[in-house]
Structure 1
Amino acid sequence: MKAPVGVILAGGQATRMGGGDKGLLTLGGQSLLDRVMERISPQVSDLCLNANGDAGRFDVGLPVVADSLAGFPGPLAGVLAGMDWAAAQGAETLVSVAADTPFLPCDLVPRLQLAAEGQALPLVLAATLGDTETRSSKGRVIRHPTFGLWPVALRDDLRAALEEGLKKVVLWTERHDGRECVFPDDAAFFNVNTPDDLAQAEAML
């Protein structure tokens, strides 16, 4: 399977951080977005940024693609924007990552591709196992729906589902026999949602 193109999802409203762009927050002297780019860029053949509003606020050397659907319908709208951009590049698959996850796996793409072997349309979400010390999540697979391998061929199907009001990523992936790829390190998908999370990320560095 050839290398997919990638999209960094930064189209949310960051309400728990008080608004603004989480990806532009600084962690250890670098923006979260720069850290994400460093990790995902070597794994994909091309890369874009999904964000809404004035694209000029991002000076990162990436094409910026906005949601094609109004009203901030969620991460799937960002995936769709990435799929539309990928289609214009002639790509068959897209990998999505979140802009607020500075420790994402450096082997994300090969693992997702391995999990997709045998699928006619590669569709895989990243997942981790719940903390065995926490009764509420013991032994439970926790999916990370902003991290996935997506077939560009299904973009019109996804567009129709979103226009019908679909919000939950997993409902759509299960409809198309999506799989999960379980990663061993839950910390790799740590995302910065609040000021306390940012402080925790500093400690994790």
Structure 2
Amino acid sequence: MKQPLGVILAGGKATRMGGGDKGRLSLGGKTILQHVIGRLEPQVAGLAINANGDPARFEDIDMPVIPDSLTGFPGPLAGVLAGLDWAAEQGADAIVTAAADTPFFPCDLVPQLLLAAEGGPHPLALAASGEPGGKLWRQPTFGLWPVALRSDLRAALENGLRKVVIWTDKHDAGQASFVQSGIDPFFNVNTPEDLTEARRIAGEIE
């Protein structure tokens, strides 16, 4: 399989942060989005951002901005579908998604997802993380998604599906497990308190 394309999911409304683009918040001298780009870009063949509203606000990052094709903010699967449609136009086989508000995710995310999908019916896998020896929690915005299933995903969304793992379980998705050392690599910034914690983790504040 060809190296997947990357899609940064930024299509949510950020209600717990008071609205706006969480990825534009400052963290350690960069924006959160710049941290995400810096981690994902070296792992993929090309990169786009899934975001709704005026795409001009992302002109400075110099990458395609792809909105949801379904109305009503139906959740991260709508962003995955938008990414798959974009990838199909590029002739790609798959995409890997990452959330725009998660600045510390693993730098080996893509190779581990590819390994987890080996032997499956499709290049499909989700990341999961947890404490050593403890329960692993799936990370539904971090996954490897096959272009071949985009019509199936579109039909599921149009029929009201919103929960990621219901769809991925239906298609026997693999799981790439990341045991956390210290911090959860999938720690995401949802609230002002989370932003303070992220700045502490990044060493910006004590």
For the aligned pair, the TM-score class normalised by the smaller chain equals over 0.9
Partner residue, 1:182: 177
CA distance in 2, matches of 1:172, 1:117: 19
Partner residue, 1:51: 51
Q: How many Å apart are 1:19 and its aligned residue?
A: 0.4
Partner residue, 2:65: 64
Partner residue, 1:203: 200
Partner residue, 2:108: 107
Q: How many Å apart are 1:181 and its aligned residue?
A: 1.1
> Is 1:19 the counterpart of 2:16 in the alignment?
no
Structure 2 unmatched ranges of 5 or more: none
Aligned pairs for 1:127-146 (under 5 A) are 127-129=128-130, 131=131, 139-146=134-141
Conserved 8 A contact 2:120-2:174: no
Q: How many Å apart are 1:120 and its aligned residue?
A: 2.8
Deviates more, 1:184-193 or 1:139-148: 184-193
Q: How many Å apart are 1:141 and its aligned residue?
A: 2.0
**Structure 2 letter corresponding to 1:19:** G
CA distance in 2, matches of 1:30, 1:195: 17
CA distance in 2, matches of 1:18, 1:55: 20
CA distance in 1, matches of 2:186, 2:157: 25
Q: How many Å apart are 1:2 and its aligned residue?
A: 2.7
Encode CA deviations 1:77-120: one digit per residue, 9 max, x unaligned: 00000000000000001100000011111000000001111123
Partner residue, 2:142: 147
Conserved 8 A contact 2:124-2:144: yes
> Is 1:173 the counterpart of 2:174 in the alignment?
no
For these two proteins, the number of residue pairs brought into alignment is: 199
Tell me the C-alpha RMSD between the 2 structures. Answer: 1.2
CA distance in 1, matches of 2:169, 2:116: 15
3-state SS of paired residue (1:126): strand
Partner residue, 1:135: none
Encode CA deviations 1:32-53: one digit per residue, 9 max, x unaligned: 1111000000000011000000
Conserved 8 A contact 2:99-2:141: yes
Which of 136, 158, 162 does residue 163 from structure 1 map onto? 158
Partner residue, 2:189: 192
Q: How many Å apart are 1:139 and its aligned residue?
A: 2.9
Encode CA deviations 1:168-203: one digit per residue, 9 max, x unaligned: 000000111112111112621010000110000011
CA distance in 2, matches of 1:15, 1:22: 10
Partner residue, 1:86: 87
CA distance in 2, matches of 1:128, 1:191: 13
CA distance in 2, matches of 1:124, 1:2: 16
3-state SS of paired residue (1:189): coil
CA distance in 1, matches of 2:64, 2:106: 23
Encode CA deviations 1:4-60: one digit per residue, 9 max, x unaligned: 001000000000000000011111111111110000000000110000000001121
Q: TM-score if structure 1 supplies the norm length? A: 0.94
